Amino acid sequence: MLRGFFKKLGAVFSGKQIDEDLWLELEEAMVLSDISITTAEQVIGELKAMVEKRQCRDTEEVREFLKYELIRILGVEPARLTTRGEYPLTWIVMGVNGTGKTTTVGKLAHWLKQRGFRPLLVAADTFRAAAMEQLQEWGDRAGVPVLTHQMNADPAAVCFDAWQSAKSRGFDIVVVDTAGRLHTKSNLMEELRKIFRVVERAQGRPPDECLLVLDGSTGQNGLQQAESFLKAVPVSGVIVTKLDGTAKGGIVITIRDRHQIPIKMIGTGEKIDDIEEFDPRRFVDGIFEDDE
């Protein structure tokens, strides 16, 4: 799936002179990948300085610089999900409407189970029609139990119960599926904060992951989303979904650049095992991979 990723970027470098056209094409390719124009201009600025300083002639060399620069932004070491600690751990999965939270929770259940963990899924979306049934179906597919409550139950109370029952029944990772919420709705963001606080009180430490699920086709609004969720809870990682399409997900580069939130996983389809650990090198290598 990383093949053809940012294919445009790869194409930019074949047999070109280092001139203004190259920089413009580079900017175009970055913007078309949803990297913000500000980030793109900044990276190009750094590349230009580098080219100047080292007296580069070779577009191949510029290509290496750009790779290096993007890997540097994304963080050289891949960030991993927290799976060790005092069990049960709690992962809160959150994001705006329709980004793929419930699907991702189902995939994570499978992913964890394959690695020998005993996850418990929690349906804390008590708002959207059939959200609980949807998660239940994923739980069945993964062979992982799902804790559900009544429609319109208080999501924080649901989480509290879930943690208690995970502790007494010996589950080790509680994965919470929350309702989609637009980051601009202060009451819904407050609800999220409350979930966070209740889990914190139950475990005697903050939730072990607060994962923001971002749709890979999201444009510049992704940055606003990250910023608002960050204001509500300490976002510990981003999961980018739907990277099996033609969208590039470049906004995560801008998000990482501004706020140091690591990207932890990527979603690459609608099947239960369409999930991978995010790898900055492969991601950036994919950017320059020739797509043929």
Binding site for other proteins (CB under 8 A): 28, 31-34, 36-38, 96-100, 127-131, 133-134, 136-138, 141, 182-187, 190, 215, 217-225, 242, 244-248, 250-251, 270
Q: Which DSSP state fits 237?
A: E
Q: Using CB distances below 5 to 8 A depending on partner kind, what does residue 7 bind out of Mg ion, other proteins, ligand GTP, none?
A: none
Residues that bind ligand GTP (CB under 6 A): 95, 97-103, 125, 128, 131, 180, 241-242, 244, 267-270, 274
Residues that bind Mg ion (CB under 5 A): 101-102
CA dihedral 132, 158, 194, 92 (to 10 degrees): -60
Q: How far apart are CA 172 and CA 156, in angstroms?
A: 19
Q: Using CB distances below 5 to 8 A depending on partner kind, what does residue 219 bind out of Mg ion, ligand GTP, other proteins, none?
A: other proteins
Please identify the residue of the shown chain whose CB is closest to the bound Mg ion. Answer: 102
Shortest CB 134 distance to Mg ion, Å: 6
Q: State yes or no: cis peptide before 155, omega within 30 of 0.
A: no
Please identify the residue of the shown chain whose CB is closest to the bound ligand GTP. Answer: 180
Q: Give me the phi and psi of 156, to 5 degrees please.
A: -65, -40
Amino acid at residue number 81? L
CB atoms within 10 A of CB 292: 7
Q: Using CB distances below 5 to 8 A depending on partner kind, what does residue 218 bind out of Mg ion, ligand GTP, other proteins, none?
A: other proteins
Q: Give CA separation, 287 vs 77, 151, 246, 281, in Å.
A: 18, 44, 13, 10
Shortest CB 180 distance to Mg ion, Å: 6
Q: How far apart are CA 185 and CA 228, in angstroms?
A: 10
Would you say 70 or 135 has its CB closer to other proteins? 135
- Residue 259, helix vs strand vs coil: helix
Shortest CB 64 distance to other proteins, Å: 25
Do the beta carbons of residue 92 and residue 196 sit within 8 Å? yes
Would you say 36 or 102 has its CB closer to Mg ion? 102
Sign of CA dihedral 99, 100, 104, 105: positive
- Residue 80, helix vs strand vs coil: coil
Would you say 65 or 111 has its CB closer to ligand GTP? 111
Shortest CB 52 distance to other proteins, Å: 23
Q: Using CB distances below 5 to 8 A depending on partner kind, what does residue 267 bind out of Mg ion, ligand GTP, other proteins, none?
A: ligand GTP
